Amino acid sequence: MSNSTLPSSGLYAITDSTLHTGRALEQAAARAIAGGATMIQYRDKSEDGDRRHREAAMLVRVCRNHGVPMIVNDDVELALASDADGVHIGRDDTDLLAARARLGDNYILGVSCYNSVELAEAAQRNGADYVAFGSMFSSTTKPAATHGEIATLESARQRINLPIVAIGGITPENGASLLDAGVDFLAVVRGVFGHDDPAEPARRYARLFCRQAREEES
């Protein structure tokens, strides 16, 4: 049974089954963590249940070896079966209250809130551990996604006591503006896993958090 603690902030690297599967996925995730990812999400929308179970269990092992939580996208039962650390759900996925009841209190539960602080407030009331906003910028992973706004992040920071995740088209060049708006995590798919060695771009994202920490201390 998982009893993982959500990191305070950092790069949230999300896998893409069109980029890596099997052994290549294991290696890519390990390299992303080596570069500074503080959390990994396994995202695979395929119908290949056997492969998804194998890969989820494999990523759990990789993440546990490095002390990093492994979150499963949209699939509570897969998270339980693989002993993952949590689940991320969206608007069209499992109901939040049902997911929390099934998981219990020892699992991390994240919720997509798109561009709505009201959805985030409801998620906070109903047991979420973090809320996610976006797509903040144009995204090749979800080109038709709801567009998020900086003003929404700033409002959420005033009204939400949970960690805030931003996702969608985030680069090392535009990510600083999201951290300045109060975001705790930058969630990235192809910006990390679309590179031959995910450690290199992961380091570039991780440096944004180092810069923010220095500025807060000064």
CB within 8 A of 62, min separation 6: which ones? Answer: 26, 29, 30, 33, 40, 70
Is residue 4 included in any domain, yes or no? no
pLDDT band at residue 92 using 50, 70 and 90 as cut-offs: confident
Is residue 5 included in any domain, yes or no? no
- The pLDDT, as a whole number, for residue 141 is 67
Total domain count, the chain: 1
pLDDT band at residue 217 using 50, 70 and 90 as cut-offs: low
At 199, which CATH number? 3.20.20.70
Question: Is 135 among the residues known to form the active site?
Answer: no
Closest to 58 in 3D by CA, of 86, 37, 84, 87: 84
The model's pLDDT over 37-47, given as tens digits with 9 standing for 90+, comes to: 999 999 998 99
Is residue 157 included in any domain, yes or no? yes
- pTM for this model (two decimals): 0.94
Cα separation of 213 and 127, whole Å? Answer: 28
Q: Which candidate in 17, 43, 177, 207 is catalytic?
A: 43
Question: Is 9 among the residues known to form the active site?
Answer: no
Q: Which candidate in 2, 4, 9, 112 is catalytic?
A: 112
Please state, in angstroms and as integers, the Cα–Cα distance from residue 168 to each residue in 58, 136, 143, following that order. 26, 5, 9
- Residue range of the domain that includes 33: 10-217
Is residue 184 included in any domain, yes or no? yes
- The pLDDT, as a whole number, for residue 25 is 98
Is residue 48 included in any domain, yes or no? yes
* Res. 218: pLDDT tops 60: no
The model's pLDDT over 114-167, given as tens digits with 9 standing for 90+, comes to: 999 999 999 999 999 999 999 999 877 667 666 889 999 999 999 999 999 999
Is residue 39 included in any domain, yes or no? yes
Q: Which candidate in 51, 54, 142, 204 is catalytic?
A: 142
Question: Is 142 among the residues known to form the active site?
Answer: yes
